[in-house]
């Protein structure tokens, strides 16, 4: 084992979960020549075969073999599987290996590994990128360029492990931001998870009210299409995220529902001035999102 090496292009990387995120990370490693060999593990034999056929990985292996061979182990499975998986991998890891995750939730995960004897070999990471697609076929080139990668509990990870992870994301053009796990999950609920709930709900609303599918297709403009794009996201990905972050999500959902009720009342009362003021306040988001 060579551990967190200075020459990352020589290392062996194991990616556990070769779908959208794991597959795109594999593509990024290849594009930047950051790995000598990329191994894959996936619960779906079909996904494994597709990842191999698409050249995302060099070989599909059993988890135990992959851990034994890898310098870096990347966990990219659904959020509800990560706490147990991280412990399982750390149980088999050595003090020379680095284990990182790419999950959307951090509090439960970091709590699960907190007392592990090899906690310092683990780096909790969330690259803020994704699409509504899933599986190895959804893997994209340049996925993480210009996207922030959040690192949680940086101080609990060994310096060499953090250096390796930061060196990789720097090569991918992804700036690092440090955040505590609870703060990460709260902010993710506000800026990511609520968007998916809203998109799913809007899609269900239109499907319920507009029975003629052809009319939806004919009349749907760019605004509608962009708003419901996330409704095409996989339930297998998002059900675990929403349920495992439900405290934060219910808080932001409560505020979202209050805002919808306010606008509903304004429309009922023909309150043009109130609607205009609400929209002007909403327009302030342009100062943040250019």
Q: Is the pLDDT of residue 1 over 50?
A: no
Q: Is the pLDDT of residue 2 over 70?
A: no
Checking DSSP bridges between strand 149-152 and strand 176-179, what pairing results, if any?
parallel
192 DSSP assignment: I
Q: Is the pLDDT of residue 184 over 70?
A: yes
Alpha carbon distance 182, 51 (integer Å):
33
Mean per-residue pLDDT for 176-189?
Answer: 97
| Per-residue confidence (pLDDT) for residue 219, from 0 to 100 | 66
CB atoms near residue 129 (< 10 Å):
20
Mean per-residue pLDDT for 249-258?
Answer: 96
pLDDT tens per residue, range 75-125: 999 999 999 999 999 999 999 999 999 999 999 999 999 999 999 999 999
CB atoms near residue 199 (< 10 Å):
19
Mean per-residue pLDDT for 131-139?
Answer: 93
Q: What percent of the chain has pLDDT over 70?
A: 92
Give all domains of the chain, ordered by start, each with its CATH number.
Answer: 8-179 (3.40.50.720), 184-287 (1.10.3660.10)
Mean per-residue pLDDT for 144-152?
Answer: 97
Q: Give the contacts of 102 (CB within 8 A, at least 6 positions apart).
A: 21, 22, 25, 74, 75, 76, 125, 126, 127
Taking each helix axis as running N to C, give the angle between helix 246-268 and helix 272-283, from 0 to 180 degrees, rounded to the nearest 10.
Answer: 140
Helix-, strand-, coil-residue percentages of the chain, each rounded to 5? 60, 10, 30
Q: pTM of the predicted model, to two decimals? A: 0.88
Mean per-residue pLDDT for 268-286?
Answer: 94
> Nearest 5°: phi and psi at 270?
55, 40
| Per-residue confidence (pLDDT) for residue 220, from 0 to 100 | 65
Query: Residue 204 region, left (φ>0) first, then alpha (ψ -120 to 50), else beta?
Result: alpha
Q: Which residue stretches of the chain are H helix?
A: 20-31, 45-53, 63-69, 82-92, 107-113, 159-171, 181-188, 194-209, 213-219, 222-228, 235-244, 246-268, 272-283
Tokens 């209050």 found at:
258
CB atoms near residue 256 (< 10 Å):
16
pLDDT tens per residue, range 28-71: 999 999 999 999 999 999 999 999 999 999 999 999 999 999 99
Q: Report residue 126's pLDDT band, with 50, 70 and 90 as the boundaries.
A: very high
Alpha carbon distance 92, 71 (integer Å):
13
């Amino acid at each position: 084992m060579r551990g967190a090496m200075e020459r990352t292009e020589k290392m062996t990387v194991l990616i556990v979960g070769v779908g959208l995120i794991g597959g795109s990370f594999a593509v990024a490693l290849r594009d930047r020549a950051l790995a000598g060999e990329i191994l894959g593990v996936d619960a779906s034999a079909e996904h494994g075969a597709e990842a191999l056929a698409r050249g995302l990985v060099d070989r599909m292996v059993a988890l135990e073999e992959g851990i034994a061979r890898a310098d870096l182990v990347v966990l990219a499975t659904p959020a509800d599987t990560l706490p147990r998986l991280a412990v399982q991998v750390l149980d088999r890891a050595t003090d020379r290996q680095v284990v990182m995750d790419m999950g959307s939730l951090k509090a439960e995960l970091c709590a699960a590994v907190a007392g592990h004897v090899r906690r310092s070999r683990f780096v909790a990471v969330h690259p803020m990128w994704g699409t509504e697609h899933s599986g190895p076929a959804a893997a994209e080139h340049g996925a993480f360029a210009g996207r922030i990668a959040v690192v949680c509990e940086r101080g609990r990870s060994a310096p060499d492990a953090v250096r390796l992870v930061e060196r990789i994301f720097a090569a991918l053009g992804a700036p690092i931001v440090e955040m505590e796990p609870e703060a990460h999950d709260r902010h993710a609920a506000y800026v990511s998870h609520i968007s998916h709930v809203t998109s799913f709900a809007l899609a269900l609303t239109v499907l319920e009210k507009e029975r003629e599918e052809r009319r939806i297709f004919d009349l749907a403009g760019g605004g509608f299409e962009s708003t419901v794009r996330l409704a095409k996201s996989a339930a297998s990905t998002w059900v675990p995220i929403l349920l495992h972050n439900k405290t934060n999500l219910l808080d932001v959902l409560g505020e979202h529902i209050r805002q919808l009720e306010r606008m509903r009342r304004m429309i009922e009362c023909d309150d043009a001035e109130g609607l205009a003021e609400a929209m002007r306040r909403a327009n302030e988001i342009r100062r943040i999102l250019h």
